[in-house]
Amino acid sequence: MLKINRYVKEIYNSTAFPGILIFLILIVINAIIQPGFFTYYSFKLNLFSFTPLILVSISQALVMLVGALDLSIGAAVSLLTVFMASVMGDSPLSIALALILALGAAWAMSLFNGFFISYLKLPPFLVTYASSAIWFGIALYIMPTPGGYIPRSFYKFYRSDFLGVIPIPVLILLGIGIIYFILSRLKIYKHIYAVGGKEEAAWASGIKIHATRIKAFLWSGFFVALAAICLVSETATGDARCGLGYTLNSVAAAVIGGVSFSGGKGSLAGAAVGGVILGLLINILYFANVTSFYQTFMKGIIVIGALVVGSITRMKEQTTS
Amino acid sequence: MAFSGWRRILVNRLTIIILLVFLLFLLGEIIFPGFMTLSHIMSILRLSVFLGIVALGQTLVVLSGNEGIDISVGSVVSLGVVVSAYILGGQNFKIPQALVLVPLIGFAIGLANGVGVSYLSIPPLVMTFAMGNVIEGLSLILTKGFPTGQAPPLLEVIGSGRLFGLIPYLVLLWILFSGIAVVMLRKTKWGNVLYGVGTNSLAAELSGVMVKRFRMYVYAMCGATSALAGLLLLSYTGTPYLNLGAPYIMPSIVAVAIGGTSLAGGKGGYAGTAIGCIALTTLNSILVAIQATEAIRQIVYGSLLLALITVSERRES
């Protein structure tokens, strides 16, 4: 009995608690308003729209953990879909090439941001705001209107079921879980928290600050590439604007998940849950028949609400500790 | 102090930007003969007014420090345009009403930004980005996609008329605003406090300034100036359109950076920003004239901002 009590207390006090609570409430609301929420079909439908959001949330969390912020995530996702849709053809070779290009480009963008933020010590929000405009410009230059070509075989695969029952996104998320499990046991993971928490202390204990930050950015870039691959498989087009919404959503999701703006606090798992929460919230807008004129407004309110709830929890934490 | 005479004038930021504006005009003249005629220069100055007013609020926010920045200015300008048109409905006697209400709405939006930034410690860029989306949505809700109303004749005279057929009234208005802004920043206690808060908020707090409340009102002022820019923009276009403010977001930040205001806060002023606005508007005119697409403009502005922060923010640290 005492043991259970302790667990309950532990959960209540954790940074993820408000997230978990909201998550459960949202499941109930969604179950009420979305017809057949618990059916296999709805599950799969939701999965498709949540997967890229979960991935960018993890990506944003990685950057935030080292005390930075990436406002170029949305534009990066867009640019990658544009790259892939312009390179892909029907041959397996061209598909492989497109995927490699996506990862390479994502890493190049991470290195670009990382160079200006870590080595030149420029404020992350300004660097990534500027690079966001550059990525968006390049994407728009290549594809002024949505288009390109994504082979049928490619997106059919994404929408298919492994062994006839397990949707591919589930496999991807499972893979992410495994990567997370491995990553959390690597030295770099501890270093990321150390650098984000107290940079001087991390430096004093011999951690290479720049290298750690750059590695965090590269991991973040890996998740951005994955998000873009999932998104392009879902939409089957390259679109310079398709990812723009992810910039703010990823920040909001990370914050709901307990990741703090000052770095060093929160977890990738929390951010992933934050992504699902945000997805469920946005779902409500669609299934509650909110008129399209109200959608931009309501989505904005949801994001601000998430930021406010996140910051209030953070303050509560600071006063108790 | 180490510099004197000529050298001091040469390294002065303002001199450099004025030179930059001149070079841009020269470039324009080379590509398009007639670019440097007096009447065209006046047209460019008039186009700079809207950016200038938006960048005024932006300058205040940036000066207040704490990574201060306001991305919602674009949506607030857009809202200012459609709300002004709605209130005015083409009637002169409603101008005073609009002149009070429109900036007030902007003030309220800015206040909300300020609460998020100051009291909830949400990073300014994130907070104002989110607010920008909300306000963009608000414009959609209010207009249902089709803005109604229009500018009354008197306002259109201000928007497109010229004193002695040469100097646009809007430019005169801007000069007036700039004068007030520069005096407020340099000569008043309020200005002093703003620089103090931006340079070292802890020291300001210790000397009795309510830093959080002060910063909140700075965001509110930025909202008010942006909404006013929307009203002025309507005076120029005559009829309202959606999303007229979006193209001002990035340039307003770049103008502040060009003008020599440190994006870390506490250092700089409005004179530099104002000339920076003229430089950017000239650059934009050239880009439009050579038919550069939105894509090229995004790349140019992004690279420009990155280059500016690399040069200026690094030197300070």
The Cα–Cα gap between B235 and B231 comes to: 6
Tell me how many degrees the CA angle B237-B241-B244 measures, rounded to the nearest 5.
80
Given this model, what pLDDT does residue B201 score? 85
A133·B299 Cβ contact <8 A: yes
- Give pLDDT tens digits for A196-232: 877 777 777 778 888 889 999 999 999 999 999 999 9
Asked if A268 is an interface residue toward chain B (Cβ–Cβ < 8 A), one would say: no
The stretch A138-155 carries a mean pLDDT of 90
Say which range, A6-10, A117-121, A253-257, has the weakest mean pLDDT: A6-10
Within 8 A of A314 by CB-CB distance, chain B residues are 121
| Residues B260, B94 contacting (CB under 8 angstroms) | no
Distance between B174 CA and the closest CA of chain A, angstroms: 28
A161 forms beta bridges with A167
Tell me how many degrees the CA angle B73-B81-B302 measures, rounded to the nearest 5.
35
The Cα–Cα gap between A319 and A309 comes to: 16
A304·B299 Cβ contact <8 A: no
Cβ neighbours for B268, distance < 8 A, ≥ 6 positions apart: B59, B62, B63, B256, B259, B260, B261, B262
Residue of A nearest to B292 (CA): A141
A134·B299 Cβ contact <8 A: yes
A120·B264 Cβ contact <8 A: no
Cβ neighbours for A234, distance < 8 A, ≥ 6 positions apart: A48, A49, A51, A52, A155, A158
Q: Which residue has the tokens 């992410």?
A: A176
Within 8 A of B309 by CB-CB distance, chain A residues are 122-123, 126-127, 130
Within 8 A of A296 by CB-CB distance, chain B residues are 133, 136-137, 140
| Residues A109, B270 contacting (CB under 8 angstroms) | no
Nearest by CB to A311, from B121, B264, B297: name it: B121
List A residues 104-133 in contact with B (Cβ-Cβ < 8 A).
116, 120-123, 125-127, 129-133
A132·B127 Cβ contact <8 A: no
Tens of each residue's pLDDT in chain B, 317 residues: 444 555 555 567 788 888 889 999 999 999 888 888 888 899 999 999 999 999 999 999 999 988 899 999 999 999 999 999 999 988 889 899 999 999 999 999 999 999 999 999 899 999 999 999 999 999 999 998 888 888 888 889 888 888 887 889 999 999 999 999 999 999 999 999 999 998 888 888 888 888 999 999 999 999 999 999 999 999 999 889 988 999 999 999 999 999 888 888 888 889 999 999 999 999 999 998 888 888 999 999 999 999 988 887 665 54
Nearest by CB to B120, from A144, A301, A311: name it: A311
Residue of B nearest to A68 (CA): B123
The Cα–Cα gap between A81 and B46 comes to: 40
Nearest by CB to B120, from A144, A295, A308: name it: A308
Candidates B144, B303, B304, B306, partner chain A, best to mutate (most A CBs within 10 A): B306
A319 pLDDT exceeds 80?
A: no
The Cα–Cα gap between A76 and A221 comes to: 9
- Give pLDDT tens digits for A267-294: 898 899 889 988 888 888 877 777 778 8
Q: Give the A:B interface size as CB pairs under 8 Å.
A: 141
Nearest by CB to B299, from A121, A129, A138: name it: A138
Average pLDDT, chain A: 86
Cβ neighbours for B51, distance < 8 A, ≥ 6 positions apart: B248, B251, B252, B255, B277, B280, B281
- Give pLDDT tens digits for A18-30: 667 777 888 888 8
The Cα–Cα gap between A59 and A63 comes to: 7
Token digits of residue B147: 């803005």
B144·A293 Cβ contact <8 A: yes
Distance between A293 CA and the closest CA of chain B, angstroms: 5
Given this model, what pLDDT does residue B2 score? 47
The Cα–Cα gap between B233 and B73 comes to: 13
A311·B122 Cβ contact <8 A: yes
Give counts: helices (H), strands (E), chain A.
14, 2
Strand, coil or helix: B162: strand
- The CA-atom distances, in angstroms, between A308 and each of A9, A96, A263, B67, B230 are 24, 42, 18, 19, 28
Cα Rg of chain A (Å, integer): 20
- Give pLDDT tens digits for A156-203: 888 777 777 788 888 888 999 999 888 888 888 888 888 887 777 777
The Cα–Cα gap between A123 and A115 comes to: 12
Asked if A290 is an interface residue toward chain B (Cβ–Cβ < 8 A), one would say: no
| DSSP label of A260 | -
Residue of A nearest to B298 (CA): A137
The stretch A71-92 carries a mean pLDDT of 94
| Residues B70, B111 contacting (CB under 8 angstroms) | no
A71·B129 Cβ contact <8 A: yes
Nearest by CB to A307, from B127, B264, B296: name it: B127
Distance between B179 CA and the closest CA of chain A, angstroms: 29
Distance between A66 CA and the closest CA of chain B, angstroms: 16
The Cα–Cα gap between A287 and A272 comes to: 23
Element (H, E) at B168: strand B167-168
Pairing of strands A161-162, A166-167: antiparallel
H helices of B144-200, in order, are 153-160, 169-187, 189-199
Given this model, what pLDDT does residue A15 score? 62
- The CA-atom distances, in angstroms, between B131 and each of A308, B81, B317 are 12, 17, 31
Q: Which residue has the tokens 């930040």?
A: B253
Q: Which residue has the tokens 């029907």?
A: A90
**pTM, entire model:** 0.89
Percent of chain A past pLDDT 70, that is, above it, reads: 93
Given this model, what pLDDT does residue B84 score? 94
* Amino acid identity at B284: N
Distance between B18 CA and the closest CA of chain A, angstroms: 24
| Residues A140, A240 contacting (CB under 8 angstroms) | yes
The Cα–Cα gap between A78 and A75 comes to: 5
Distance between B314 CA and the closest CA of chain A, angstroms: 7
